[in-house]
Structure 1
């Protein structure tokens, strides 16, 4: 819930309502994205090396939990008069403590079950609750009918009341994995190198990065596409809502299909279906609302598979490596995956937006047909090509036995 609010509402709130300006806020959040790329692998490796009665994950969660509460409140309920230094410090603290909490927490999801299919169920269940949280955050401004500052304060208040209850429930009922730890632990660099040496992990990350970059370009340009191609700016919120709902609805579909035909083949199917959906974008014109709604449903349906099955496949890889090594390594693997995901989501800002700017694209006015062609290429054409290439790569390079070992 908070993560969606931070991505969707907080930058605009600080830039416009708090008066810091788009350039300052954009620079702070871009720094935060790159900051995460370095802190994720570091915290992942340190978590894997942590000992104690509660295992390598819970100590990190307990230590970072107060910081998560504090900086979430400071970020969503700032004082009336702040400057760029306040935003920089609060964003940095928020990202650091959330990373220190979330990487160990999410690692438990990779480790908690030895059953291949159940790993997909766990990943899918987590995805559904993430989507529900995003929906709640998106509906708060509508339900209370208040300004963005009040809405964000409401989200913060709900978070402060609900999260301690969830934390207690987690500590009471979530089982912990136990390890046959071999000594000595590898160095931090050695831990990352051991992960990157795994051929299956490297192949999975190449495919995951390319698909996430494709998704980032499509989602990042959806507003511009709906505004200038569909010419229905008022329907942008509806488009995102349909995409989110389709994402939640199709989680069980992909999980059941993966049990029938395997995770790799299921993900390839979703990748190719999404390529077909993206190709249909070239048929959208002004006022083609029904076609655009169908495209948003198709995108949401496929993107949920992009999130759930790579995580489940990673759990299979981690389980085998931890069995062979005797060391907990889930956090290191997951942190490297998170870093790849965050770098992929820089694609719209680092590639598409600058090239659109060079072609003279006007966000508020008329554009030449060739400029619309560039927008279509980054919204649908390039993502479609990336997906076809990834499907071919998965077919040739990743073996089923690596990510669909027999359930135990």
Structure 2
């Protein structure tokens, strides 16, 4: 178990709010990109699921390269404002422009426009998110508070996702109209969140006088930790499972449950249950360990996913119950790996003189984005080939194919993740009483 030290805390409630708020516009863009934009560009704009999936996969592959570079450059930045804030300010400006281009295209567009807009979106998302999230790894010397910080971001992530999910249905807009409103809301919240972050969030100040590391040297160092490699592998497997479930949920509600009018309700249930069960996973992590909490969530979701094929057309209540259980585990999938990574980063930075949090986080983000390739690069093209978005569950082969991607494959992936975590190293980091010093 962890050795607890609850006598000192870095953040009060208001500072937690100011720390987490900037996650809201990022989450709004992320949900719009995952839930609405593939179908919007494929169907409404007439580009087709296969082409849209290929373009999005290309953007994610670009991220796998740019994330570690930006993370490392952020680590090595030395300015009077600190290493992260200049990147965050540039990121907010670029992200706002790219969000407008990506979410609110004017008139008919073609594949070239989608490719450019999506690549700009992915790039500036990284420029904003990696330095911002890196501060969350560095700012607290307290083991349990790192989970609270990750939980703060997770709550605001849910808030942003709910806002993005609810707008089309609350306001009665079409998807295209709603995406424009979402774009404006993201831009406004980016600037508000940045201002509050800069004014009220206490950030660590470390004087770095060691020689600069090259990107290759820094990568070799962070990947030399066996715990980190196991954490990355487990995270990739679980996120791939989650990407399949979240990416195909709209098709599940429309074609399997037969409740197209309840898509917004299902998305809201998934997100709200994710936030509602966060205290449970944080309690388990404090009482036992973060690894135990995450494994419990993985097993719970696996059981729920096994029930999905039992749900048929019109079984709305059963589908809602399963969505609540699945959603309840997403919070642990989000905050426990981040908190475990914060423990590793803090420990490593106490041992050495280099700042490495940005690169640690960026490699983890690259892994997360790699998981996006499975639904976009595999599930969408296969379902597009059999015409699922047009004919739905019209035949046993179509139903079996869909359930393979929505239930069977995610279950298999989560069982593999459980095995990796069970047989991997212990992630427990003892609580230290020292504080972050400059």
- What is the TM-score of this pair, normalised by structure 2? 0.85
Measure, in 2, the Cα distance between the counterparts of 1:108 and 1:405. 21
By how many angstroms is 1:355 displaced? 5.5
- Cα deviation for residue 336 of structure 1 reads 0.6
- 1:275 maps to which residue? 302
Alpha-carbon RMSD across the aligned residues, in angstroms, is 2.5
Secondary structure of 1:403's aligned partner: coil
- The answer to whether residue 281 in structure 2 is matched with residue 260 in structure 1 is no
Please list, as runs of the form range in 1=range in 2, the aligned pairs for 1:179-258 lying within 5 A after superposition.
179-258=206-285
Structure 1 residues 212-258: Cα deviation after superposition (integer angstroms, max 9, x where no partner): 11122223333444445434444333222211111111112211221
Residue 94 in structure 1 maps to residue 151 in structure 2: no
Shift of 1:126: 0.3
Deviations 1:299-329 (A, max 9, x none): 0001111111000000001111111121111
Say if 1:147 and 1:390 are closer, same or farther in 2 by CA, change over 3 A: closer
1:348-376: CA deviation from partner (whole Å, max 9, x where unpaired): 23344556678897851555545534433
Structure 2 counterpart of 1:403: 428
Conservation of the 8 A alpha-carbon contact between 2:165 and 2:267: no
Does the CA-based 8 Å contact 1:179-1:326 persist in structure 2? Answer: no
Structure 2 residue 90 is matched with structure 1 residue 63: yes
For the pair 1:294 / 2:321, whether they are aligned, the reply is: yes
In the alignment, which of 161, 164, 188 is matched to residue 191 of structure 2?
164
1:71 shift after superposition: 2.2
Q: Is the 8 A contact 2:54 2:376 kept in 1?
A: no
Structure 1, residues 71-90: CA drift from partner, whole Å, max 9, x if none? 22333333335544433333
What does the per-residue CA deviation read over 1:324-346, in whole Å, with 9 as the maximum and x for residues that have no partner? Answer: 12111111011111111111121
User: How far did 1:276 drift?
Assistant: 1.3
List per-residue Cα deviations over 1:137-187 (Å, max 9, x = no partner): 222223333344432332233333332222121111112222253521221
How many residue pairs are counted as aligned between the two chains? 406
1:78-93 matches, cutoff 5 A: 78-80=105-107, 82-93=109-120
Q: How many angstroms apart in 2 are the aligned matches of 1:25 and 1:370?
A: 24
Q: Distance in 2 between matches of 1:297 and 1:284?
A: 14
1:134 alignment partner, SS class:
helix
SS at match of 2:331: helix
What is the distance in 1 between the residues matched to 2:252 and 2:38?
A: 21
Q: 1:335 & 1:87 partners in 2: Cα distance? A: 25
Q: Provide the C-alpha distance between the structure 2 equivalents of 1:42 and 1:116, rounded to a whole number of angstroms.
A: 28
Judging changes above 3 Å, is the alpha-carbon distance between structure 1 residues 264 and 297 closer, same or farther for their aligned structure 2 residues?
same
Q: Closer, same or farther in 2 for the Cα pair 1:175/1:87, shift >3 Å?
A: same
Contact 1:224 1:363 in 2 (8 A): no
Choose from 376, 387, 391 the match for 1:349.
Answer: 376
TM-score, with length taken from structure 1:
0.90
Among residues 46, 53, 58, which one is paired with 1:31 in the alignment? 58
2:201 is matched with which residue? Answer: 174
Distance 1:283 1:269, change over 3 A: same
The answer to whether the Cα contact below 8 Å between 1:204 and 1:398 also exists between their aligned partners in 2 is no
Distance 1:388 1:308 in 2: 20
8 Å CA contact 1:214, 1:382 repeated in 2: yes
CA–CA distance in structure 2, aligned partners of residues 220 and 100 of structure 1 = 24
